[in-house]
Amino acid sequence: MDAPHKPRKRELPIAQLVPNLMTIGAACAGLSAIRFGIDGEFKIAVQLILLACVLDGLDGRVARMLKSESAIGAELDSLADFLNFGVVPALLIYLWAFGEIPNGGWIAAVIYAVCCLLRLARFNIGNKAVEDAGPTEYFEGVPSPMGALLALLPMFISFVWSKAPAMPPPVIAIYMIGVGLLMISRLPTWSLKSMTIYRENVKLLVIGFVLTVALLLSYPWATLVALDLAYLAGIAWAWWRLKSRKRSGGS
């Protein structure tokens, strides 16, 4: 009798696994941030969230560069985003700020996390339509990674001015809910994918990028405070510019 036929094993290039490994690494960073937050090591916890932001910004680009996009990669990315930018910031801020108002603080944390979940669900549904229509100048609402950085702004401020009076927990709760509402809002926010620059200004952009990296390495918390405030100002500017276009187009 002939030996039973064994199914042929398929080989998979290791390089195609790199984007998914980066996404899983980001999720591990987020889970570790929870551990350090429970231990009261909030600076380390926030640094791990920042690492997750960097990995989140790179994994998709690496996947496209290696031509290794996959359905499971997209699902992993979305789940990791909810963990890192929805659940983890909510838990960290709850542990850090809401000892005096645990019930109210928990409500604010849950609202923020659910808003992040809704933001990601809306993005996943609309992502295909956006790809078909081509890149647009604006997103609708604040992207979840930036939402996490905005939500952590009170912590950044406390790291810079540790001797200043702490923000009242009710104010932090209201601010946290406000950031959650920004994520699910229809407010226009800048989309870097469609932004352009004149060739003669590329050197200025490179210098600005290097300066930002240097400031983040030297004065991380003050720089993050400045970037958050600049982003909030950018939202106001994008909203005003879009409204002006609509008014001029309708006149």
pLDDT in tens, 126-151: 655 544 545 556 678 899 999 999 99
Per-chain mean pLDDT for the chain: 86
Report yes or no on 146 lying in a domain: yes
Report yes or no on 223 lying in a domain: yes
Report yes or no on 167 lying in a domain: yes
What distance in Å separates the CA atoms of residue 128 and residue 69, rounded to the nearest whole number? Answer: 14
DSSP strand pairing (138-140 vs 188-190): antiparallel
Most confident of 63-67, 116-120, 190-194: 116-120
Q: How many helices and strands in the chain, by DSSP H and E? A: 10, 2
What distance in Å separates the CA atoms of residue 91 and residue 69, rounded to the nearest whole number? Answer: 31
Residue 5 has pLDDT above 70, yes or no: no
Pull the structure tokens for residue 14: 């290791």
Q: Exposed (0-12), middle (13-18) or buried (19+): which is 150, by Cβ within 10 Å?
A: buried
Instruction: Give the pLDDT of residue 209.
Output: 87
Is 43:33 a contact under the CB 8 Å cutoff? Answer: no
Domain tally, the chain: 1
Range of the domain at 222: 82-245
Report yes or no on 127 lying in a domain: yes
pLDDT in tens, 17-26: 888 899 999 9
The whole-angstrom distance between residue 187's C-alpha and the CA centroid of its chain comes to 17
The more confident residue out of 114 and 99 is 114
Report yes or no on 240 lying in a domain: yes
C-alpha distances (whole Å) from 246 to each of 176, 188, 243, 249 are 31, 13, 5, 5
Instruction: Give the pLDDT of residue 17.
Output: 82
C-alpha angle 26/127/122, rounded to 5°? 80
Pull the structure tokens for residue 187: 């407010």
Report yes or no on 182 lying in a domain: yes
Neighbour-count burial for 113-123, b at 16+ CB within 10 Å, e otherwise? bebbbebbeeb
In the chain, % of residues over pLDDT 90: 56
Residue 221 has pLDDT above 80, yes or no: yes
pLDDT in tens, 196-216: 677 777 888 889 889 999 999
Over residues 181-198, the mean pLDDT reads 78
Report yes or no on 219 lying in a domain: yes
What distance in Å separates the CA atoms of residue 199 and residue 184, rounded to the nearest whole number? Answer: 35
Average the pLDDT over each of 57-66, 101-110, 180-189 and give the range with the smallest value: 57-66
Report yes or no on 74 lying in a domain: no
Question: Where do the DSSP E strands lie in the chain?
Answer: 138-140, 188-190
Is 173:100 a contact under the CB 8 Å cutoff? Answer: no
In the chain, % of residues over pLDDT 70: 86
Instruction: Give the pLDDT of residue 251.
Output: 47
pLDDT in tens, 28-52: 999 999 999 999 999 999 999 999 9
Residues 6+ apart with CB under 8 A from 187: 140, 141, 142, 235, 238, 239
Instruction: Give the pLDDT of residue 30.
Output: 96
Instruction: Give the pLDDT of residue 226.
Output: 96
